[in-house]
Amino acid sequence: MPDKLKIYFANRAWVHGVWAKDVLLSVADDGTWASIQVNASVDQQRDATRLTGPVLPGLVNSHSHAFQRAIAGMTERAGEREKDGQDNFWSWRDRMYSAAQRITPQQLEAIAALLYAELLQAGYTQVCEFHYLHNDIGGKPYANPLEMSLALVRAAQRIGIGITLLPTLYMRSGFSAAGLQHDRPLRGDQQRFASAPDLIFKTCEGIQSQFGSYLVHTGLALHSLRAVGQGALQEAAAYATSKRMPIHIHVAEQTGEVTDCLAIHGERPVEWLLNHVALDASWNLVHATHTTPAELQGVKSSGASIVLCPTTEANLGDGVFDLPTYAKMQGSWAVGSDSHVARSWQEELRLLEYSQRLARRQRNVMAGATGQPSTAAALFNAALAGGSSACGLPTGGLLAGHRADFSVVDTTSAALLGVPADHLLDAMVFSSPDARLAEVYVAGKPVVQAGRIGSWRGLADDFSNAMRVLWR
């Protein structure tokens, strides 16, 4: 093989959705996989760097609000109640807003850097950052409109994780009736989010011109149907399509959103998108918790993907997505950690399956819906494929031409002790606490060794200092 290839050897690796034996993994100069060879002979293995455990491809964290890492554990006490006497998503949102008003660019970078290190150590090698903290604490544009975006990109570069930055359009505080000439204005505590299509486009172009590489990518996000009107939504979608960017949108997360959309437009949120927007494979519908089978079929037929965030959806009391129906349709989906109450893909997949079991009083729901023998494999393979759509990059596994992202499993983890090799992924997903990863590689280069990123202590100190200021 050419000298420029870096060659690794793994006794086992996850190739084409199953465990393969004696795998040679060859990385080209550009950080992509040059080739994946299974059943390599002893002679072929001789000059390769031997990895210490089984290899899994890196996963995409397909939905992140990095600043919300600062409120993990900080909203779990009953505070101001809604009129019906219950704490819910909308009261949580008010508490989240109160934190969002205080975060400076320096604090955001410190918070995001620790978060991204946690994600990387967990085996996420790319993060889709749904970014809507555009303006300063007073709600005015920064002298450099990219100020907060740059903080996120610097954090990702410091850690070595890939990032798809999704500058987010946020223009109004709620649905407006069809035909009205003006939208409901943003609330005072939403002024940091204020944006217009032109600002979003310039942010995308500014980041790409300064950092565009295989580790820094951009897409575009629309906060929600309640925050973006039809005209601006279609303008932004047309721009993203012209640039071949992924498009993300929060949709149908809460029953209140569904009710409001029906009242104003006579259609449910996902139904409205299907009827008014040319959905295609570039679209990623975040949550889509409250959808009908007909809507799910429409999403599947369009080629769009759904991004599920099970730990956040559980934390906020959103509801349970109808995964079995969508999986039987072979719909595309990915996972994200959203508000970051958890930072582990293993926990996301475990809760995704367990929520279905609780709702249906059945076991191995995802395996039954897909006809696969292993529930963990069905979950992992779907999340792997959907993540590539979410980030707009070829990151869907150990495949030639895809970025060479992978993790090495620590088989001395308590959850894996004595587990037969063929059941390793099952134990990783369904035996807790989570199995550890010994090493993580991005673009063929080690970024996590001995289970931790090398700069952890400094990251932890910076994060702790930011938290002390935010919560004093």
pLDDT at 176: 77
CATH number at residue 109: 3.20.20.140
Q: Does the active-site annotation cover 287?
A: yes
Give CA–CA dist 172/9, Å, rounded: 53
pLDDT surpasses 60 at 178? no
pLDDT at 464: 98
Which residue range(s) make up the domain with 11?
Answer: 6-57+400-456
Total tally of structural domains belonging to the chain: 2
386 plus 408 within the same structural domain: no
Q: Is the dihedral of CA 37, 39, 45, 51 positive or negative?
A: positive
pLDDT surpasses 50 at 223? yes
Residue 112 lies in a domain: yes
The model's confidence at residue 181, banded by pLDDT at 50, 70 and 90, is very low
Average pLDDT over residues 289-317: 98
Among the options 287, 290, 340, 402, which is catalytic?
287
Give CA–CA dist 60/54, Å, rounded: 19
Average pLDDT over residues 137-158: 97
Q: Is the pTM of this model over 0.85?
A: yes
Q: What is the pLDDT of residues 63-101, one digit of tens each?
A: 999 999 999 999 998 865 555 567 888 888 888 998 899
Among the options 318, 338, 405, 462, which is catalytic?
338
Residue 463 lies in a domain: no
- What is the number of alpha carbons within 13 Å of residue 125 lying toward its C-beta? 32
pLDDT at 90: 82
pLDDT surpasses 90 at 214? no
50 plus 63 within the same structural domain: no
Q: Does the active-site annotation cover 265?
A: no
38 plus 104 within the same structural domain: no
> Cβ distance 108 to 148 under 8 Å?
yes
Give CA–CA dist 398/127, Å, rounded: 18
53 plus 92 within the same structural domain: no
Residue 219 lies in a domain: yes
pLDDT at 212: 77
pLDDT surpasses 60 at 341? yes
CATH number at residue 43: 2.30.40.10
423 plus 374 within the same structural domain: no
Give CA–CA dist 397/59, Å, rounded: 8
For the chain, what percent of residues have pLDDT higher than 70?
Answer: 96
Average pLDDT over residues 142-160: 98
Whose structure tokens read 């279905």?
Answer: 356
Average model confidence (pLDDT) for the chain? Answer: 95
115 plus 241 within the same structural domain: yes
51 plus 180 within the same structural domain: no
